[in-house]
Structure 1
């Protein structure tokens, strides 16, 4: 079921400052900042040869990462994202095996324009897991 690592997401209080660190200090290829209003965040992707790093910044008061940043003021790793061939089949298999899907359980369109789901961190050793349709 689980495919390749798509990205590791890092929540940050200031996405422009964080992107500059990757661009200017590490010489990374950085995407433009893109608002993701359906998810309550702005995103920037750092493109690596084998995966991506996603920087997340709150977009508004209702952002789901606000509480994370309250606990981790400097930011930190927020979630990891794996690709799956069939997100509905993966969801159904996970639920059958007792895993909890966050939200309504129906996929939303993610930052790459593909369906995504988030899995409860208590079911995955404390890590928030995102699944993205490959």
Structure 2
């Protein structure tokens, strides 16, 4: 498995609006997308762009807030009431090949491969198998797609 581009860092937050204010007012972020609901994943999402080279977008920050009582983020926020880093997400060219390679290495996948916030297929790897970090693997978005 070859390490792909770091697409985003997921930050769980009890309030997306408070986190938007933090990234805008304290960190100076100027590219903040509109928040949107992802009922299928139980979260509200907002992407904050960081600057990349030559005017491109660098690594994004994905703010995630629980959406509804069944949100998987509730457990994280119960342990970390102020929020914090939830996961790191890396791109791969082929999600199915990547999943097979991780599983062949004995890495445990959490749940099914599904559509993520960028509109591409994703899966998550168990933190115990990934140096203590919940790791999201996503198929590289097609040009002009997603957030």
| TM-score clears 0.5 | yes
Which residue in the other structure is 1:2 paired with?
3
Could you tell me how far apart the structure 1 residues matched to 2:100 and 2:11 are?
28
TM-superposed CA distance for 1:12, in Å, is: 0.4
Which residue in the other structure is 1:129 paired with?
135
Q: Would you say how many aligned residue pairs link Structure 1 and Structure 2?
A: 132
Q: TM (normalized to structure 1)?
A: 0.95
The answer to whether structure 1 residue 33 and structure 2 residue 47 are counterparts is no
The answer to whether structure 1 residue 96 and structure 2 residue 116 are counterparts is no
Which residue in the other structure is 1:46 paired with?
48
User: Secondary structure of 2:96's match?
Assistant: helix
Could you tell me how far apart the structure 2 residues matched to 1:87 and 1:110 are?
12
TM-superposed CA distance for 1:23, in Å, is: 1.2
List alignment gaps of at least 5 residues for structure 1.
none
The answer to whether structure 1 residue 112 and structure 2 residue 114 are counterparts is no
Q: TM (normalized to structure 2)?
A: 0.87
TM-superposed CA distance for 1:2, in Å, is: 2.4
List alignment gaps of at least 5 residues for structure 2.
52-57, 141-147
User: Secondary structure of 2:8's match?
Assistant: strand
Which residue in the other structure is 2:64 paired with?
56
